[in-house]
A = this chain, B = another copy of it.
Amino acid sequence: MTVQTDRTRRPFVLEEAVAILARTPASLDALLRGLPDGWIAAHEGGDTWSPFDVVGHLIHGERTDWVPRARIILEHGEAPVFDLFDRLAQFEVSKGQTMASLLDEFATLRRENLRELAALGVTAADLDRRGRHPELGVVTLRQHLATWVAHDLDHVTQISRVLARQYSDEVGPWRAFLRIISGAQG
């Protein structure tokens, strides 16, 4: 496979990453706003997250993770270790909110963060700059920003899966054909 014909990998290009990051709020908004409450609170059992929980988690990432850490890498390099990201912060943050208010907040924060990212004027050389993650050790700005994109998409996947699985029983014999319910990859 050559770089040109390999459709399984894209090299990181900042403009492309921003193109995807800019789309996530509207895509989730179109999917979730106005859905009946039972779907907003749906989850996969135990401690798994609902669409409501996931959007709160994305908001917390906008506030404390993606652009704040990018700024640390650019301004301070590896010397400071990033603060640990609290993966459960949304349970406090989202209290008393509605899905609509969370979607509004996510869209606003994302817009502001992409504006701030643009203002940082990240160069090709900057993408190789390094920071220190509390669990992963040395990471580059490129890896951090690529993860921002993949993390968004991971949670879009999660939300769709949580919703689909609500009908695990109702689909009857189709269960075997629906990879999202059967759990088969592909």
Contact = CB atoms under 8 A, between A and B. Distances in A.
Interface of A: 7-12, 16, 19-20, 23-24, 26-32, 34-36, 38-39, 41-45, 48, 50, 133, 136-137, 139-140, 142-143, 146-147, 149-151, 153-154, 156-157, 160-161, 163-174, 177-181, 183, 185-186
Copies of this polypeptide in the complex: 2
Contacts of A24: 31
A19 B36 contact: yes
A23 B7 contact: no
Contacts of A41: 7
17 contacts: A7-B50, A9-B168, A19-B36, A136-B174, A136-B177, A137-B173, A143-B170, A146-B172, A146-B174, A147-B174, A149-B167, A150-B164, A151-B178, A153-B160, A153-B164, A154-B179, A156-B160
A161 B165 contact: no
A122 to B, nearest CB: 15
Which 6 interchain pairs have the tightest Cβ spacing?
A143-B172, A153-B164, A146-B170, A26-B30, A154-B180, A27-B30
A47 to B, nearest CB: 10
A129 to B, nearest CB: 13
Given A8-B165, A136-B174, A170-B143, A23 B30 contact: yes
